Structure 1
Amino acid sequence: MASAEPVKVKVFIGTMFEIGQNTGDRAGEYQHWYEKYWKDAKSIEVPGALKPVHCNQDGVCGSVLGMGKVNSSSSMQAILLNPQFDFSQAYYVLSGVAGTPPSRGTITDVSWATWLVDYDLGHRWAPEEGEPGAPVFIPRKGYEAYRLFHLNPTLVGWAVDLSKDVALQDSDSARVYRMRYPDAAAQAAPSVKTGTHMTGDTFFHGPGLSKEAQHIAKLYGADDYLITEMEAAALALVINRQHGTDRILSLRGAVNFDQGNPNETTQQHLDPAPGQTAGGFAETVSNITLVGAPVVDRIVKDWSVWQAGVPDRKAR
């Protein structure tokens, strides 16, 4: 019997975790995407991937890849190499929640990455072993080809154009929590932003490491550090080795600040008392899909234009 033709993937949406079921309970990163695109889709098992892949008849596919660089990238590679799929012309939306520095963003913001930077590839030492106040990081030679990725500016521009007017959800608890921070960006209403997404398996936290993340971004010539997350640079590396990076988007929603407010220590912020968390998680995971879906839908709707590559934005 002849084998079935592989699924021609137009857009692949990769999230990192789901809290419970794919639908009908508290939503994590995958649920809103699942309910929009795959509620009636069959699960496709992929050896080596954390979770099954779902695909609809329009060629929109997605999966939960796992948290952290190794976990997520091993799933991504297994899916990319599986003969059940044809990724030769696919676009990618790498989607999840994240943290943001209060000087540049706020809770329930949604951000498109302009650059992906790996936080971990370099040399570090204890602050007391270096010059007082100086950075405690230097890059290591040999990692130049995969410590950062400049995402396709035309594709990012399309994403911003298509999502900039989306009405973002917010919550009363998030509004109250923002006021703990003196920064204008932290106190602002949520919006769609762009900037560098910093990928680190270490859940780095506090003003000192936030400053270090910005130092690394500028050291590498990237845009301002805006998002801290744990997967995107590793996923981009796996995709790049098969298909390049021209069709990759990284989309993150901020559910926490990367440091405490001036009246709490970093440890207090990481281990808050009951009722002292930021709030806004449910609104943020909803916002991510609200912001990302117009891009997915445009690619599918105008596939004849997008199939061969990212069109000039004048094509709008």
Structure 2
Amino acid sequence: MQICAKTLWATSAIMVGLAGGASADPVKVKVFIGAMFEIGENSGDRAGEYQHWYERYWQDAVPREIPGAIAPVHCNDDGVCGSVLGMGKVNAAASMQAILLNPDYDFSNAYYLITGVAGTPPSRGTIGDVVWANWLIDYDLGHRWAPEEGEPGEPVFIPRKGYEEYRVHELNPDLVAWGVELSSDVALTDSDEAQTYRMRYPDAAAQAAPSVKVGTHMTGDTFFHGPGLSAEAQYIAKLYGADDYLVTEMEDNAIAQVINRLYGTDRIAAIRGSVNFDQGNPNETTLQHLDPAPGETAGGFAETVQNIALVGAPLVDRIVTGWEAWKDGVPAH
């Protein structure tokens, strides 16, 4: 008797679910919030990317270990779930896929909020900004060469064929618009240290107070720095027909690709808070910027991770409280 591979796979998946104690009534997820790292505990110490979300939604939640995920999942009674997914594209994508495929959770109507810290070019942003993504772009899927091996002054990147469906995701403009509107009146926090650090840069955007912005998130495992690679990121954004590159991060496009394979991208939102500039000021080299002297680092990390939750929470709360209007799709905006 022949048994097709698909039948074997489905049978194995059921057995794994039963062995892992899958619940008869999976949690119906309304919003899933993904952060990339936490510094220490989920509450009560120095906050990383997850702590403010945890303290807002999951103080009383029981953590659920998920095979294949880097950290437990927390859910509240309102259907808001979240987890730390891990840093870098492989870590974050592997965790997201493990969570999405776990039979204890029903993601059939879920929304996703990808969150974390980022860098920003001083010509377009500042420390403490929070940026809603309208485009997610992979920085790495292409060909690169040393500048001296190409034409002087020309870009050193061309896309690699075959990755057209993976390297760019345009997010649902209606969902982006909801996020921007609901966070438009949020008062962002700031610090004296961040204000002082900004003045090292002559750009008006760099010296400005933190604000909520919209633009392209550039995903790359390479933690790139310097005006040359910043310009290359902007070149890639334009090459792919996206809006201005506003933040550099390491996970968003990869997470979106995992979600897209199962549920599409219409319900994905992404926000990033800027905790550093992607290049040094005119009085320091790129290497000096990467390895600053003691006391010379940018301030504002604590304030930025707080800002991220302040900006993202109104959308989460609107979706949950207005679930009847949201469960079948993003309401027209």
Q: TM-score category by the smaller chain? A: over 0.9
SS of equivalent residue, structure 1 residue 158: helix
Q: Which amino acid aligns with 1:121?
A: L
Partner of 1:71: 91
Superposition TM-score, scaled by structure 1 size:
0.98
* Cα drift, residue 3 of structure 1: 4.0
Is the contact between residue 135 and residue 217 of structure 2 (CA under 8 Å) also seen in structure 1?
A: yes
Q: Residue 270 of structure 2 aligns with which residue?
A: 250
CA distance in 1, matches of 2:183, 2:79: 21
| 1:1-316 map, 5 Å | 3-313=23-333
Q: CA deviation at 1:2?
A: 9.7
Assess, with a 3 A threshold, how the Cα gap between structure 1 residues 179 and 36 changes in structure 2: closer, same or farther. Answer: same
Distance 1:206 1:168 in 2: 27
The residue identity in structure 1 corresponding to 2:225 is H
| Residue type of the alignment partner of 2:24 | A
* Aligned 8 A contact 2:35 2:83 in 1: yes
Q: CA deviation at 1:108?
A: 0.3
- Show CA shifts across 1:186-215 (max 9, x none): 000000000000000000110000000000
Give the partner amino acid of 2:220: G
SS in 1 for 2:231: helix
SS, match of residue 83 in structure 2: strand
| Residues in 2 aligned to 1:74 and 1:59: alpha-carbon distance in whole angstroms | 22
Contact 2:23 2:104 in 1 (8 A): no
- Residues 167-199 of structure 1 show CA distances to partners (whole Å, capped at 9, x for unaligned) of 000000000000000000000000000000000
**Structure 1 residues 2 and 234: CA distance shift in structure 2, 3 A:** closer
Please state whether the residue corresponding to 1:249 is helix, strand or coil. strand
The CA deviation at 1:140 is 0.8
Structure 2 contact 22–104 (Cα < 8 Å) conserved: no
Q: Give the letter for the 2:282 counterpart.
A: P
Secondary structure at the aligned position of 2:270 is classed as: strand
Equivalenced residues, count: 313
* Structure 2: segments with no counterpart, 5+ residues: 1-20
- Equivalent in the alignment of 2:18: none
Gaps (5+ residues) in structure 1?
none
Query: Partner of 1:205: helix, strand, or coil?
Result: coil
After TM superposition, which residue ranges in structure 1, 4 or more long, deviate above 2 angstroms?
1-4
Partners of 1:7 and 1:144 lie apart in 2 by: 34
Distance 1:3 1:168 in 2: 41
Separation (CA, whole Å) in 1 of partners of 2:144 and 2:22: 55
Measure, in 2, the Cα distance between the counterparts of 1:13 and 1:252.
Answer: 13
Please tell me the residue identity of whatever aligns with 1:103.
S
Distance in 2, matches of 1:205 and 1:197, equals 15
Find the aligned partners of 1:216 and 1:170 in 2 and give their Cα distance: 31
In structure 1, distance between residues paired with 2:244 and 2:291: 27
Q: Which amino acid in 2 is paired with 1:302?
A: G
How far did 1:4 drift?
3.0
Which residue type is aligned with residue 200 of structure 1?
G
Structure 1 pair 2–115 and aligned structure 2 pair: CA distance change class (3 A): closer
Taking only the aligned residue pairs, the percentage that are identical comes to 78
Structure possessing the higher radius of gyration over alpha carbons? 2
The answer on whether the counterparts of 2:22 and 2:103 sit within 8 Å (CA) in structure 1 is no
Per the normalisation by structure 2, the TM-score is 0.93
